[in-house]
């Protein structure tokens, strides 16, 4: 246990003086606890949120602090949880009364009672989040660390304050948080804790999908996401909410022919793409780009293992996965779908870089062409240095060709030079099938390079197509 060491330098932010003064006025023992303390020792810079625990009413303390602050901020009170929150100088401060908790088998929502600081520290998820600094006059800045969290922080260990089976069974979301911290901070989950997560993996089923996704997004956003996903897989958590991914695990052999383990390949792709982008949804696309391979896998005696149509199948699976996990079904989901569906196109294109194929790729991808190319480059996981260099050089050629074709033909976010209204007016037509046929023919002719993407050539082509269809000019 850390004793008597004072860390006044941690409490430089002016909010702490106001909190301390308000606590003295109310005669409340008060401490800053959790992430702020942890991040101070990790030297993670300016805090964005601060957790304050009072031995008494956290709501009363928040209101008293607000009255002392120069901007008199509004206090948000959450009576159900016994907490209050206010903002000061771009920092969110949450206040809560010290408490102890007890849980039922069916819920992660605890029965709460008033408690001591020790009770409050015992209910914390990990030792590194149970440390507190005193804001009391008698020992201002003193570190209270009953579970040696500072030792675990210095040695990069994730450990629970109490029995890990109880900690994880009580609130199964803590299992996700343990893995998320391990992935974000490159910490090791101690063996007893990791084994407890595996034993309690089934308990994750009582957690809402939304809460799981919050942690998943943080794991995907970590510097090396595979660290987290390997732990999720090892502890049997992943299969409970992302079976599409774990179904890729394993290698089959028939007549001496094997396929690669697409689960580990996928994690390599996610790590590769994470070196080049912080785009969460592009990282999701990398994670899901091969999920269609499990249901489309077949063995052909002539060619070996095949995954025909896995991109199309995978793009359909993206919608079902997002819907099941209560993820957004808006443009973010559509972006991931598009990336999965088109994920093999540049790979095929790299072997025969024609203007027509490049135009069609630009047309189908629009403003997401750069994201698609980044995904395809991340998809190169060969350990053969000659092949690695060859594939990347091929994609450089494709990127250059995309630039040349786009500068010349302007097919990104393609808008047909000839509108349906003009066709109707030219040939005195009402809405009919022939209008769509002419527009499609013009589009195909432009993409195939038969005509340029301009009004003059498109208009001439329109007249020829209309003649073939037996249409007459409006006299």
Residue 157's DSSP bridge partners are 188
Reply yes or no on whether the pLDDT at 224 is more than 70.
Answer: yes
pTM of the model: 0.87
Spatial CB neighbours of 61, under 8 Å, sequence gap ≥ 6: 19, 22, 23, 26, 28, 30, 52, 54, 84, 95
Spatial CB neighbours of 143, under 8 Å, sequence gap ≥ 6: 2, 5, 6, 7, 37, 131, 132, 133, 150
At 106 the pLDDT is: 63
At 350 the pLDDT is: 78
Task: Concatenate the DSSP letters of all residues of 154-194 into one string.
Answer: HTTEE--SS-HHHHHHH-THHHHHHHHHHHHHTPEEPHHHH
**Coil, helix or strand at residue 61:** helix
Distance CA 430, CA 179 (A): 62
**All structural domains of the chain:** 8-154 (3.30.460.10), 156-241 (1.10.110.30), 420-468 (no CATH)
At 113 the pLDDT is: 66
Spatial CB neighbours of 439, under 8 Å, sequence gap ≥ 6: 416, 418, 420, 423
Distance CA 40, CA 132 (A): 11
Reply yes or no on whether the pLDDT at 292 is more than 90.
Answer: yes
At 1 the pLDDT is: 44
Residues above pLDDT 70, as percent of the chain: 96
Q: What is the rounded end-to-end Cα distance, in angstroms, of the chain?
A: 96
CB distance 349 to 398 below 8 Å = yes
Query: Quick one: 100 exposed, middle or buried, by C-beta within 10 A (0-12, 13-18, 19+)?
Result: middle
CB distance 72 to 116 below 8 Å = no
Reply yes or no on whether the pLDDT at 410 is more than 90.
Answer: no
Q: What is the mean pLDDT of residues 38-51?
A: 91
Q: What is the mean pLDDT of residues 22-38?
A: 96
CB distance 78 to 96 below 8 Å = no
Distance CA 194, CA 234 (A): 9
Distance CA 79, CA 40 (A): 30
Reply yes or no on whether the pLDDT at 285 is more than 70.
Answer: yes
Q: What is the mean pLDDT of residues 448-459?
A: 88
Reply yes or no on whether the pLDDT at 242 is more than 90.
Answer: yes
Nearest to residue 266, comparing CAs of 236, 282, 288? 288
Spatial CB neighbours of 333, under 8 Å, sequence gap ≥ 6: 318, 319, 322, 327
Distance CA 54, CA 61 (A): 8
CB distance 245 to 293 below 8 Å = no
At 190 the pLDDT is: 97
Helix axes 262-274, 369-378, angle to 10 degrees: 130
Strands 253-254 and 188-189: unpaired
Residues above pLDDT 90, as percent of the chain: 68
Strands 143-144 and 111-114: unpaired
Distance CA 269, CA 289 (A): 9
pLDDT digits (tens, 9 = 90+) for 51-109: 999 999 999 999 999 999 998 999 999 987 889 999 998 899 999 999 876 556 666 56
CB distance 169 to 193 below 8 Å = no
pLDDT winner (highest mean) among 168-172, 241-245, 397-401: 241-245
Spatial CB neighbours of 240, under 8 Å, sequence gap ≥ 6: 201, 202, 204, 205
Query: Quick one: 91 exposed, middle or buried, by C-beta within 10 A (0-12, 13-18, 19+)?
Result: middle
At 4 the pLDDT is: 64
CB distance 62 to 86 below 8 Å = yes
Which has the minimum average pLDDT: 19-23, 165-169, 301-305?
Answer: 301-305
pLDDT digits (tens, 9 = 90+) for 351-378: 778 888 888 898 889 899 999 999 999 9
């Amino acid at each position: 246990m850390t004793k008597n060491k004072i860390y006044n330098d941690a409490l430089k932010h002016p909010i702490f003086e106001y909190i301390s003064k308000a606590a003295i006025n109310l005669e409340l023992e008060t401490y800053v606890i959790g992430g702020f303390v942890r991040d101070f020792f990790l030297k993670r810079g300016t805090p964005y949120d601060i957790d304050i625990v009072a031995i008494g009413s956290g709501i009363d303390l928040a209101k008293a602090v607000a009255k002392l602050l120069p901007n008199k901020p509004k206090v948000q009170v959450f009576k159900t949880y016994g907490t209050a929150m206010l903002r000061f100088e771009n920092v969110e401060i949450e206040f809560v009364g010290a408490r102890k908790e007890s849980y039922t088998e069916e819920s992660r929502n605890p029965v709460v009672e008033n408690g001591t600081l020790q009770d409050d520290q015992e209910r914390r998820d990990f030792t590194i989040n149970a440390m507190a600094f005193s804001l009391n006059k008698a020992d201002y800045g003193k570190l209270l660390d009953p579970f040696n969290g500072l030792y675990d922080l210095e040695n990069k260990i994730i450990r629970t304050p109490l029995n890990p089976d109880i900690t994880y069974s009580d609130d199964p979301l803590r299992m996700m948080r343990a893995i998320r911290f391990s992935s974000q901070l490159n910490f090791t989950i101690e063996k007893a804790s990791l084994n407890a997560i595996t034993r309690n993996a089934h308990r994750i089923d009582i957690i809402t999908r939304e809460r799981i996704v919050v942690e998943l997004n943080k794991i995907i956003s970590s510097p090396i996401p595979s660290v987290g996903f390997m732990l999720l897989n090892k502890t049997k958590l992943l299969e409970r909410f992302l079976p599409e991914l774990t179904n890729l695990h394993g290698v089959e052999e028939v007549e001496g022919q094997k396929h690669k383990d697409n689960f580990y390949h996928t994690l390599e792709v996610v790590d590769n793409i994470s070196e080049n982008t912080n785009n969460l949804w592009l990282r999701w696309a990398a994670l899901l780009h091969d999920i269609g391979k499990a249901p489309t896998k077949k063995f052909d005696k002539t060619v070996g293992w095949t995954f025909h149509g896995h991109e199309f199948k995978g793009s359909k699976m993206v919608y079902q996965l997002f819907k099941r996990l209560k993820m957004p079904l808006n443009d973010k989901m559509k972006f991931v779908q598009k990336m999965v569906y088109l994920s093999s196109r540049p790979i095929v294109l790299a072997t025969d870089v024609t203007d027509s194929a490049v135009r069609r790729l630009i047309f189908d991808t629009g403003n997401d062409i750069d994201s698609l190319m980044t995904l395809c480059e991340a998809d190169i996981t060969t350990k053969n240095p000659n092949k690695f260099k060859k594939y990347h050089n091929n994609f450089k050629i494709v990127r250059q060709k995309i630039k040349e074709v786009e500068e010349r033909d302007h097919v990104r976010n393609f808008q047909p030079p000839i509108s349906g209204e003009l066709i109707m007016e030219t040939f005195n037509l009402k809405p009919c099938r022939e209008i769509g046929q002419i527009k499609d023919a013009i589009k195909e002719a432009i993409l195939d390079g038969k005509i340029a993407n301009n009004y003059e050539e498109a208009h001439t082509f329109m007249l020829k197509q209309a003649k073939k269809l037996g249409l007459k000019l409006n006299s």
